[in-house]
Amino acid sequence: MKSAICLAECMSSRCKIPPAFSIAIAYIMKFTQYESEITKFLKELKQKDPTLEQKQREGRAIWWDKAPIDLDARRRAEASRVKQQAYVYQTKH
């Protein structure tokens, strides 16, 4: 309804906005209220299970969020690593 009022005002002679631009504004205002099927589905899913986002965060924490790296332990592990020979299946004679 707001877009129709805005469009009517902009189409009047006292408005300084070009008519094509005012039509574009009305078009944009119409589609800002558009909601895709996926968005509707996700909102419905979250309403059915309010703890869904918390479960997702917990799942992410299990697989992706890692503890900070201990730089001293990493440096010691790299220093104690034994260099692998170029061709591992060749025996040393």
Asked if residue 55 has pLDDT above 80, the reply is yes
pLDDT of residue 34: 80
Give the DSSP H or E segment for 83: none
Mean pLDDT of 78-82: 91
Helix (H, G, I), strand (E, B) or coil at 65: coil
Interatomic CA distance for residues 41 and 60, integer angstroms: 22
Is 37 among the domain residues? yes
Interatomic CA distance for residues 69 and 76, integer angstroms: 13
pLDDT of residue 11: 52
Predicted confidence band of residue 67 (pLDDT cuts 50, 70, 90): confident
Mean pLDDT of 82-87: 83
pTM: 0.39
Is 56 among the domain residues? no
Predicted confidence band of residue 83 (pLDDT cuts 50, 70, 90): confident
Q: Print the domain residue range for 46.
A: 1-50
Q: How many domains does the chain have?
A: 1
Give the tokens for residue 33.
Answer: 């209220």
